[in-house]
Amino acid sequence: MIKHFTKTLRTDRLELRHLIPNIENAKIIYAALKNENPDDYKYEPLMKAPKILPKSIADTLKMMQYHAESEKNDACTFYMFHNNQFIGVRKISFYKEANILKLNSVWLVSVARGQGFASESYRVIEDVAFNKLKVNKIMRVNFVDNKDSAELAEKTGMILDGISRQAVFMNGKYYDLMQWSKLYSDYIKEKAQV
In tens, the pLDDT along 122-177 reads 999 999 999 999 999 999 999 999 999 999 999 999 999 999 999 988 778 899 99
Does some domain include residue 157?
no
Does some domain include residue 107?
yes
List the CATH number of the domain containing 125.
3.40.630.30
For residue 169, what pLDDT is reported? 85
How crowded is residue 44: how many other Cβ atoms within 10 Å of its Cβ?
17
Number of domains the chain contains: 1
Is the pLDDT assigned to residue 18 strictly greater than 70? Answer: yes
Does some domain include residue 17?
yes
Instruction: Measure the CA–CA gap between 34 and 56, rounded to whole angstroms.
Output: 8
**% of the chain with per-residue pLDDT over 70:** 96
Among 162, 31, 158, 164, which Cα is nearest to 106's? 158
- The parent domain of residue 57 ranges over 9-138
pTM value?
Answer: 0.91
Does some domain include residue 162?
no
- Cα-only R_g, the chain: 16
Describe the chain by its helix, strand, coil percentages, rounded to 5: 35, 30, 30
* H or E segment to which residue 5 belongs: none
For residue 1, what pLDDT is reported? 60
Does some domain include residue 174?
no
DSSP reduced 3-state for 170: strand
